[in-house]
Amino acid sequence: MEVPILKQGHYLIASIQSALTDADLSQLREALIERVGRFRARGVIVDVTALDVMDSFAVRTLRDIAHMARLRGAETVIVGIQPEVAFAMVQLGLTLKGVSTALDLEEGLAFLNVQTQVRIDRGPGRLDRG
Protein backbone atom coordinates (compact mmCIF):
# COMPACT_ATOMS: atom_id res chain seq x y z
CA MET A 1 0.00 0.00 0.00
CA GLU A 2 1.37 3.35 -0.99
CA VAL A 3 1.75 5.89 1.81
CA PRO A 4 0.23 9.29 0.99
CA ILE A 5 2.67 12.17 1.34
CA LEU A 6 1.11 15.56 2.08
CA LYS A 7 2.79 18.90 1.65
CA GLN A 8 2.03 21.32 4.44
CA GLY A 9 3.88 24.63 4.15
CA HIS A 10 7.54 23.87 4.28
CA TYR A 11 6.99 20.40 5.58
CA LEU A 12 6.18 17.00 4.13
CA ILE A 13 3.90 14.75 6.17
CA ALA A 14 3.79 10.99 5.57
CA SER A 15 1.12 9.27 7.61
CA ILE A 16 1.47 5.48 7.68
CA GLN A 17 -2.01 3.99 7.91
CA SER A 18 -1.36 0.25 8.10
CA ALA A 19 1.40 -2.31 8.39
CA LEU A 20 3.81 -1.94 5.47
CA THR A 21 5.81 -4.49 3.57
CA ASP A 22 9.52 -3.98 3.10
CA ALA A 23 8.87 -2.93 -0.50
CA ASP A 24 6.33 -0.32 0.63
CA LEU A 25 8.84 1.07 3.10
CA SER A 26 11.55 1.36 0.46
CA GLN A 27 9.06 3.03 -1.85
CA LEU A 28 8.16 5.51 0.92
CA ARG A 29 11.84 6.29 1.46
CA GLU A 30 12.45 6.96 -2.23
CA ALA A 31 9.32 9.08 -2.61
CA LEU A 32 10.09 11.20 0.46
CA ILE A 33 13.68 11.87 -0.47
CA GLU A 34 12.71 12.79 -4.01
CA ARG A 35 9.99 15.18 -2.82
CA VAL A 36 12.25 16.88 -0.26
CA GLY A 37 14.15 18.21 -3.26
CA ARG A 38 11.14 18.87 -5.46
CA PHE A 39 9.22 20.90 -2.87
CA ARG A 40 12.31 22.36 -1.21
CA ALA A 41 10.94 21.02 2.08
CA ARG A 42 12.58 22.09 5.32
CA GLY A 43 11.11 19.34 7.44
CA VAL A 44 9.71 15.81 7.18
CA ILE A 45 7.22 14.24 9.57
CA VAL A 46 6.58 10.50 9.52
CA ASP A 47 3.50 9.59 11.56
CA VAL A 48 3.53 5.98 12.80
CA THR A 49 0.56 6.23 15.20
CA ALA A 50 -1.29 3.45 13.39
CA LEU A 51 1.58 0.97 13.66
CA ASP A 52 1.47 -1.52 16.49
CA VAL A 53 4.56 -3.42 15.38
CA MET A 54 7.88 -2.08 14.24
CA ASP A 55 10.51 -4.51 12.97
CA SER A 56 14.19 -3.90 12.42
CA PHE A 57 13.75 -3.14 8.74
CA ALA A 58 11.12 -0.50 9.48
CA VAL A 59 13.33 1.10 12.10
CA ARG A 60 16.31 1.09 9.78
CA THR A 61 14.28 2.62 6.97
CA LEU A 62 13.05 5.40 9.26
CA ARG A 63 16.62 6.08 10.33
CA ASP A 64 17.76 6.13 6.70
CA ILE A 65 14.99 8.55 5.79
CA ALA A 66 16.12 10.89 8.57
CA HIS A 67 19.76 10.77 7.55
CA MET A 68 19.09 11.10 3.82
CA ALA A 69 16.64 13.95 4.31
CA ARG A 70 19.19 15.78 6.43
CA LEU A 71 21.73 15.47 3.60
CA ARG A 72 19.17 17.09 1.33
CA GLY A 73 18.48 19.90 3.77
CA ALA A 74 15.41 18.76 5.70
CA GLU A 75 15.01 17.88 9.36
CA THR A 76 13.01 14.66 10.07
CA VAL A 77 10.90 13.85 13.08
CA ILE A 78 9.14 10.53 13.78
CA VAL A 79 5.86 11.02 15.62
CA GLY A 80 3.26 8.83 17.31
CA ILE A 81 5.30 5.81 18.41
CA GLN A 82 2.99 3.83 20.73
CA PRO A 83 4.21 3.10 24.28
CA GLU A 84 4.11 -0.66 23.68
CA VAL A 85 6.01 -0.28 20.43
CA ALA A 86 8.63 1.93 22.12
CA PHE A 87 9.08 -0.64 24.85
CA ALA A 88 9.46 -3.49 22.39
CA MET A 89 11.91 -1.46 20.33
CA VAL A 90 14.30 -0.72 23.19
CA GLN A 91 14.17 -4.36 24.25
CA LEU A 92 15.27 -5.34 20.76
CA GLY A 93 17.92 -2.63 20.80
CA LEU A 94 16.22 -0.65 18.02
CA THR A 95 16.56 2.83 19.42
CA LEU A 96 16.53 5.20 16.39
CA LYS A 97 19.75 6.84 17.51
CA GLY A 98 20.26 10.30 16.09
CA VAL A 99 16.66 10.59 14.90
CA SER A 100 14.28 13.11 16.47
CA THR A 101 11.00 11.86 17.88
CA ALA A 102 7.85 13.54 19.17
CA LEU A 103 4.63 12.48 20.82
CA ASP A 104 2.23 13.26 17.98
CA LEU A 105 1.78 15.33 14.84
CA GLU A 106 1.17 18.53 16.77
CA GLU A 107 4.33 18.12 18.81
CA GLY A 108 6.25 17.21 15.69
CA LEU A 109 5.17 20.41 13.95
CA ALA A 110 6.10 22.48 17.01
CA PHE A 111 9.48 20.77 17.11
CA LEU A 112 10.16 21.47 13.43
CA ASN A 113 9.10 25.10 13.81
CA VAL A 114 11.75 25.55 16.48
CA GLN A 115 14.34 23.51 14.60
CA THR A 116 14.01 25.14 11.22
CA GLN A 117 13.30 28.66 12.49
CA VAL A 118 10.60 29.09 9.89
CA ARG A 119 8.79 32.35 10.22
CA ILE A 120 5.15 31.91 9.40
CA ASP A 121 4.35 35.58 9.53
CA ARG A 122 6.13 37.31 6.68
CA GLY A 123 7.02 40.94 7.09
CA PRO A 124 6.07 43.51 4.38
CA GLY A 125 8.25 43.01 1.29
CA ARG A 126 9.22 45.43 -1.42
CA LEU A 127 6.19 44.69 -3.51
CA ASP A 128 3.86 45.47 -0.61
CA ARG A 129 5.30 48.97 -0.32
CA GLY A 130 4.46 49.62 -3.90
Partner 1 sequence: MATKGKEAQSPLPDPQAQTESTAALLRELVAHLRQNRTQLREEWARRITRAQLLTAMTEEEIFAEATSVYDNYVEALETGTFEALQAYARNLSERIIPRGVETHEVVGIVLLLRDVLARSLFGKYHEDFDKLNRILDAYEPAANRIANTVAVGFVQERERIIRQQQEAIRELSTPVLQVRERLLILPIIGVIDPQRARQLTEQLLRAIRTNRAKVVVIDITGVAAMDSNVANHLVQTVEASRLLGATVIVTGLSPEIAQTLVTIGVDLSEMATVGDLQGGIEEAERLLGYKVLPLEDLTPKA
Chain residues binding partner 1 by CB under 8 A are 78-79, 81, 83-87, 89-91, 95-96, 101-103, 107-108, 111
Q: How far is the CB of 89 from partner 1 (least distance, A)?
A: 6
- Give CA–CA dist 111/101, Å, rounded: 9
- Give CA–CA dist 130/119, Å, rounded: 23
Nearest to 41 by CA among 5, 7, 66: 7
Q: Judging by beta carbons within 10 Å of its beta carbon (0-12, 13-18, 19+), is residue 113 exposed, middle or buried?
A: middle
Q: Which is nearer to partner 1, 35 or 46 (CB)?
A: 46
Q: Which is nearer to partner 1, 16 or 102 (CB)?
A: 102
Q: Which is nearer to partner 1, 3 or 79 (CB)?
A: 79
Q: How far is the CB of 62 from partner 1 (least distance, A)?
A: 11
Q: How far is the CB of 66 from partner 1 (least distance, A)?
A: 13
**Are the C-beta atoms of residues 49 and 82 closer than 8 Å to each other?**
yes
